[in-house]
Each structure stands twice: as C-alpha cells, then as structure tokens.
C-alpha cells in the first residue's frame, strides 16, 4: 500500500513537487523562526541575567521596604561565603544600592549609588562594558565613581572632577568625596541620569558597613530560559541556607516583565505555525483531492478487487502523509542548515540592531533550536497531512465500485 | 455437486433522476464449482448487472445471491468487500490494471490486499503470469503491454489469488477476434487443468462455440441455457 501510494504521489509530479515545495518552505521557515526566536530569547536572557544574576538573595519583599536599613543583608560576607561553598563553580557577588545625593561644584542630583565588587561580573556588566570615557571606580587610596553620562552632564562634571555623596541617617560615615573615574552609557536615559557606580567597600563604609542589599548568584553554563531544571536544582540546594526573613528569587521572579516577554515567544510562534501550516494544508488538500478525482475509476477497481472503505481511506491518507513528510524532510534539512549557519552568530541590519539593543537584544545573536521544537514542527506537518487528507479520504471511502468504474474524468 | 453460486429471483432497478430502469427482472441461475459458464445476450440485456450482483459489487433490488454458502445480498459494503477479497476474482472489459504498477505488482495486488508476505506474493504472481505465458513481461507497466497482454495480466491478477470463482465481464470486447479467442482458450485451459470456476459475459456469438455451458439473457431474464456435450 505504501509503495502504491508513493507511486501515486510521483504520478502527478508537477503538482506534488509544487505542494511538497510549499510544505518544505513552511517547515524551513518555521525552523528558521524557531532558531531566530531561540537566538532572541537566549540573547535577551543572557543580556538580562548578566546584570540580574540567575538567583538573587535579598530581604523578603525588599522592593516594598522604604527604610534603607531594613532592606539590608547584615553580615553579607559570611552569607556570601556559605552560598559560594554550596555551589562550587558559581559566581556569588554582593551589591549595595544606596540612595544618595550627589553633588558637583554647582549642582546636585538624587542618585542611586551602586556598590559593586571591583573585577566582579556586575562591575564588568554595569561599568567596564559601558564605559565611554575614563575607567571603572577604584578604592585604592582615593575613592572614585563612574557616572552615567547624563548624570555627569547634569552635574556639569567630567572625568577627573570631584563629586560629593551625601547619605544622611545611616550607620556609615554618611558623606564622602569621590573622583569621577569614568562615564558610562546605559540603555535607558532616565537610568543614566541617576546612576553612579562605586566600589562595594566604599558603599559599605559610606552607608552600611558589612552589609549588602542583595547577593547575586551566577550559575555556570546557564544560557537559556529553557534550562529551568538547573535553576530549580540550584535553588533547592541553596534553600536551606536562606535565613528567616530573606528570600531567594529566580531571575523570573526578579524580572517578571522580561520573563513574560520571553514566555510570549512560544505562543506567538505557535500562532505563526498554525497560519503557515493551514495555508500549506490548503495546497495539500487541493493536490490530494485532484489526485482522487483523476483516479476515481482506479479507486473503483481497487474496491472491486476487495479493498474496503477503510483501506481506501488509508491509501489516500498515506499519499498525503508521503507528500507532506517528504516535503517536510527537505524543509527540515534546509531549515536545519540555515539554523546551523545562524548558530555561529548573526546580526540584524545596523539600524535595527541599535534600535533593538534598547530592549536588551544583543547585537550578535546565536540561533538555537531544541529537539522538542523540531519535533513540534514535524508534528504540525503530520497534523497537516492528516487533516488535509480527511475530506478526500472520506469521499474516496464512500465510492461505490460499479459507479466509480464507470466514471469518466 | 453443490452450487457454488446461486441467484434466486434477482431484480435490479436503477433509479436516475426519479426514472426507474429495470436491468434484471427475476433472474435465476446456479453455477457449480469448476464450471465454465458464459452469460450471453445483446447489449442492455443485463449481463454486466448480473455479474456485478453475483460478484457482490452491487446489491439486488430484490432476490437473493449465495456465494460459496454465504448470502451476499444482505451484507453491507465492508462485508461484501471482504467476501470479494477472499472469494471472488474479477476481469473487466477495459482491463483495469493499475497504471503505476508493473505486471508483476498488478498480478500480486489482491494478495497484497490480503496482507500476504511479499515473497509469497511474488512467487504466486510470477506463477500466475507464467500460466498466462507472460513470464518475460513481469516488470512491464500496462502502457508497455498490448491489449491482449493487459487482459492476460488481469486474468493472472484474479488467478494468483486463487478465488472460488472468477467473473469476467466482456473480457474480449476490447480485443480483436483472434486475441479474444486466445484469451478464452487460456481461461478454458485454467478451468480444465486447475479447476478454476469461470463465469463470463459476452455478446460475441463466435466465442460461444468454444464454451460448454451458455446461459442466454434477454431483457433481464434468463431466456434459455445450452449445455454442449
């Protein structure tokens, strides 16, 4: 039956080729779209988690606490060390965010001072990679600070000038002078106008000795939001170490808006898949139906020779399956090749890349597709083949042998 | 000998756009296993209709059809298809081979429908083709064969499945008289040597001289029967 079906598919060569090519195009397109979406999602995930970390330890509901002192992790280094010991290979960094008044010679602004570990991943992400002038903050002798460009403009200061930070009513020294070590360009201009980065030690001495507002954990090899299992595994490993009154958040909980954007990709692609496969399905229906109409006499003979209606329906469905799946195989090969090439890195055209960088999209992206996504594309193709064959198969199954053999096409 | 086929008071009326056309008007017929029977009659006498009813391709409006001890006329389409598959062979006027299959594949087709293993299918189909002297044509497609050869492949297709009976509806109508006569001789030899039961229809009186039992059909009724010694 399979052999006969295959010969029948090849019989209407031009029509079968056209339909197979349409299915191949849809499958290839879907694979490229999945590869592209993998690149976007992974790129955004990596971009985001480079600044948020994969797991974050903080005081419970810290974002809702108004008083500075109540939102702090006291004795942060000890806790940081315990967490690092529990997760070998992970980077565990503390950061201290201090609301402050920063003043230049003539102007002052309310800012958020970020105290980061020199040489740490957060410092690299927030400062080193974004420097437009000068260098990162230091605490060897004189304290220095890297300022957002917009903030420096507002304060009318430049690299090498002095600024003064005031943090009243804290357990630290409360006020200190900093030299502007460098200027950083941040993706959002509002953030750039209120950000200054100093070293963790300087922030702690200024406002909260030995404390941190959060401890950020970077897990090794976590490059995609689909690796949820690894994240949960690390989280449960750390859970017993979390003191009462604290919470250990995943990046999803810390950045729910971004998580929602990334999660939207899956249903969005499913909608595209449905649209594309329905269009391809219409072509398949047309091909299978015309194949049936042209061979009504032949179907009549096959029924006369003893094939029952189920077998006839099976023959029509098998023809549709062969047509679609062979097209899908070609499409998967072409799509796979394209995704493989894109997996070595690709960029959007210049202006687009710059525009999308604002939303956290990396300039160079790396396509990736999971076996489950490939399986999903094939499942769609399979479903298309079956759905497209149903009506012609039903018609074929209802043929009466005598009438069918008298049919004139 | 018990009857292999029995038709009792068969009526068949076709309805087209509300107009009723009677094709059979109470035909009775009995065929025993191993017989070689011709149904003769002019065009429109109901020969094809009778063969279709006897072979389970269609259901009578009235009357009963029995084949190898099973009643056919009260069976549904699926049951009749199963009965045709296992007990009936057909040879049609227009050969009706499947054009994308080779002669061998066509001859093996019914066996494939029966789900027989491919080695057995091949062996039996080759043997059937050999019986019809088509040994050298196994790999040819129908469009590479003459009309007579195609009809012999159709006979081989029926023969390979070893059915209880082979119905041939005007098998020589599309052949020249010499080729048609040759085909009848092949069928006679299979009947004689292998005991295959044949029931075939024809309106060609020249062929009837070569047949032992001839049933004459006129206006949907059995008009008479000749049995030659």
Find the mean pLDDT for residues B185-189. Answer: 86
Nearby residues of B90 by Cβ (< 8 Å), 6 or more positions away: A304, A305, B55, B57, B84, B158, B166, B167, B168, B169
B12 to chain A, any CB pair closer than 8 A? The answer is no
Rounded to whole angstroms, how far apart are CA atoms A316 and A8?
Answer: 10
Q: What is the mean pLDDT of residues B34-58?
A: 91
Q: pLDDT per residue over B195-224, tens digit each?
A: 889 998 988 887 888 888 999 999 889 989
Q: Quick one: pLDDT at residue B229?
A: 65
Q: Same domain, yes or no, for A132 and A110?
A: yes
* Residue A243 DSSP symbol: P
Please report the pLDDT score of residue A108 as a whole number.
93
* pLDDT tens-digit series, residues B79-88: 999 999 999 9
The mean per-residue pLDDT over the stretch A172-201 comes to: 92
A169, A193, A218: which is the final residue of a domain?
A: A218
Task: Read off the pLDDT of each residue in A279-298 and give the average, rounded to a whole number.
Answer: 86
Residues of A in contact with B78 (CB under 8 A): 308-310
Contact status of B115 with chain A (Cβ, < 8 Å): no
Q: Are residues A312 and A399 in the same domain?
A: yes
Q: Are A105 and A13 members of one domain? A: no
Same domain for A268 and A390, yes or no, is: yes
Q: Examine the domain organization and report whether A327 and A368 are in the same domain.
A: yes
The pLDDT assigned to A267 comes to 87
Residue of A nearest to B99 (CA): A298
- 8 A C-beta contact, residue A291 and residue A6: no
Residue A230 domain-assigned (yes or no): no
Report the pLDDT averaged over residues B112-139: 92
Residue A385 in any domain: the answer is yes
For residues A345-350, average pLDDT = 83
Domain of residue A359 covers 2-47+259-406
| Minimal Cβ distance to B84: which of A7, A298, A304 | A304
Q: Are residues A63 and A199 both part of a single domain?
A: yes
Look at A406 and A386; give whichever has higher pLDDT.
Answer: A386
Question: CB of B164 within 8 Å of any CB in chain A?
Answer: no
Least Cα separation, residue A346 to chain B (angstroms) = 48
Mutate to test the interface with B, among A13, A303, A305, A311 (most CBs of B within 10 A): A305
For residue A245, is it within any domain?
no
Domain total of chain A: 2
Domain for residue A7, yes or no?
yes
Chain A CB contacts of B110 below 8 Å: 305-306
Examine the domain organization and report whether A286 and A337 are in the same domain.
Answer: yes
Q: What is the pLDDT confidence band of residue B12, given thresholds at 50, 70 and 90?
A: very high
One domain for residues A18 and A67: no
Provide the pLDDT for residue B208.
85
Look at residue A250 and tell me whether its pLDDT is greater than 60.
Answer: yes
Judge whether B112 is closer than 8 Å to chain A, CB to CB: yes
Answer yes or no: do A83 and A182 share one domain.
Answer: yes
Average pLDDT, chain B: 90
Res A360 pLDDT > 80: no
Task: Please tell me which residue of chain B has the smallest CA distance to A8.
Answer: B100
Distance CA A25, CA A18 (A): 10
Express as a percent the part of chain B with pLDDT over 90. 53
A26 and A66 in a single domain? The answer is no
**Tens digit of each residue's pLDDT (9 = 90 or more) over A225-249:** 888 888 899 999 999 999 889 999 9
Whether A238 is covered by a domain: the verdict is no
Domain residue spans of chain B: 3-227
Instruction: Check A1 against B112: CB less than 8 A apart.
Output: yes
| CB atoms A402 and B52 under 8 Å | yes
As a whole number, mean pLDDT of residues B183-196 equals 86
Is the confidence at residue A43, as pLDDT, over 60?
A: yes
- The CATH number of the structural domain formed by B3-227 is 3.40.50.300
Radius of gyration of chain A (CA): 31
- Is residue A313 predicted with pLDDT exceeding 70? yes
Per-residue confidence band for A409, with pLDDT thresholds at 50, 70 and 90 = low
Q: Pick from A203, A223, A225: which is nearest to A212 by CA?
A: A203
pLDDT (average), residues B113-118: 92
Q: In terms of domains, do A87 and A151 share one?
A: yes
Same domain, A43 and A87: no
Our CA-based measurement puts residue B27 at a distance from the nearest CA of chain A, in whole angstroms, of 20
Kindly tell me if the per-residue pLDDT of B1 is higher than 70.
no
Closest residue, chain B, to A398 (C-alpha): B77
Evaluate whether B148 touches B175 at the Cβ level (below 8 Å). Answer: yes
Do B169 and B3 touch, CB atoms closer than 8 A?
A: no
Strand ranges, E, within chain B: 3-16, 19-32, 36-40, 62-67, 70-71, 88-91, 165-169, 198-202, 213-218, 221-227
CA distances from A95 to A39, A84, A197, A199, A211 (A): 30, 15, 11, 9, 9
């Amino acid at each position: 039956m399979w052999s006969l079906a295959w010969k029948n598919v090849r019989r209407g060569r031009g029509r079968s080729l056209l339909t197979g090519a349409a299915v191949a195009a849809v499958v290839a397109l879907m694979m490229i779209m999945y590869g592209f979406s993998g690149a976007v999602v992974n790129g955004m995930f990596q971009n985001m988690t480079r600044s948020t970390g994969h797991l974050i330890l903080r005081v419970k509901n810290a974002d809702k606490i108004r008083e500075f002192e109540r939102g702090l992790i006291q004795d942060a280094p000890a806790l940081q060390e315990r967490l690092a010991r529990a997760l070998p290979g992970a980077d565990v960094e503390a950061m201290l965010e201090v609301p402050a008044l920063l003043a230049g010679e003539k102007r002052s602004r309310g800012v958020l001072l970020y105290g980061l570990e020199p040489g740490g991943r957060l410092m690299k992400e927030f400062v080193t990679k974004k420097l437009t002038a000068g260098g990162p903050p230091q605490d060897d002798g004189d304290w220095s600070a890297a300022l957002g460009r917009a903030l420096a403009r507002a304060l009318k200061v430049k690299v090498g000038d002095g600024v003064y930070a005031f943090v009243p009513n804290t357990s630290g020294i409360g006020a200190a002078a900093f030299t502007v070590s460098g200027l950083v360009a941040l993706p959002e201009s509002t953030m750039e106008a209120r950000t200054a980065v100093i070293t963790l030690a300087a922030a702690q001495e200024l406002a909260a000795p030995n404390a941190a507002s959060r401890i950020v954990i970077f897990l090794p090899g976590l490059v995609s939001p689909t690796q949820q299992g690894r994240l949960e595994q690390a989280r449960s490993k750390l859970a017993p170490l979390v003191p009462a009154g604290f919470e250990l958040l995943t990046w999803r909980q810390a950045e729910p808006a971004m998580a929602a954007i990334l999660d939207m990709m899956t249903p969005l692609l499913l909608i595209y898949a449905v649209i594309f496969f329905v269009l391809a399905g219409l072509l398949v229906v047309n091909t299978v139906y015309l194949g049936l109409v042209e061979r009504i006499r032949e179907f009549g003979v096959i029924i006369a020779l003893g094939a029952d209606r189920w077998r006839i329906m099976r023959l029509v469905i098998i023809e549709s399956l062969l047509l679609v799946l062979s097209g899908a195989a070609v499409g998967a090969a072409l799509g796979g090749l394209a995704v493989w090439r894109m997996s070595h890195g690709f960029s959007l055209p210049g202006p687009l890349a710059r525009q999308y960088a604002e939303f956290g999209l990396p300039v160079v992206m790396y396509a990736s597709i999971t076996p489950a996504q490939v399986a999903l594309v094939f499942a769609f193709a399979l479903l298309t083949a079956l759905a497209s064959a149903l009506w012609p198969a039903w018609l074929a199954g209802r043929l009466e042998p005598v009438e069918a053999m008298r049919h004139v096409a | 000998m018990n009857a292999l086929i029995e038709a009792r008071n068969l009526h068949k009326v076709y309805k087209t756009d509300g107009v009723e056309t009677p094709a059979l008007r109470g035909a009775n017929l009995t065929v025993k296993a191993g017989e070689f029977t011709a149904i003769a009659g002019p065009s429109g006498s109901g020969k094809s209709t009778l063969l279709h009813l006897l072979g389970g391709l269609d259901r009578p409006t009235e009357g009963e059809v029995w084949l190898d001890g099973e009643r056919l006329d009260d069976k549904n389409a699926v049951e009749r298809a199963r009965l045709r598959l296992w007990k009936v062979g057909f040879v049609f006027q227009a050969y009706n081979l499947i054009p994308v299959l080779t002669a061998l594949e066509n001859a093996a087709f019914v066996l494939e429908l029966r789900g027989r293993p491919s080695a057995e299918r091949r062996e039996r189909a080759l043997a059937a083709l050999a019986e019809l002297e088509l040994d050298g044509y196994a790999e040819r497609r129908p469009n590479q064969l003459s009309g007579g050869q195609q009809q012999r492949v159709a006979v081989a297709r029926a023969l390979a499945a070893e059915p209880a009976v082979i119905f041939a509806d005007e098998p020589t109508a599309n052949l020249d008289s010499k080729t048609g006569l040759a085909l009848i001789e092949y069928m006679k030899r299979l009947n004689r040597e292998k005991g295959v039961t044949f029931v075939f229809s024809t309106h060609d009186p020249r062929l009837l001289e070569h047949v032992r039992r001839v049933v004459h059909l006129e206006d949907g009724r059995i008009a008479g029967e000749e049995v030659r010694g």
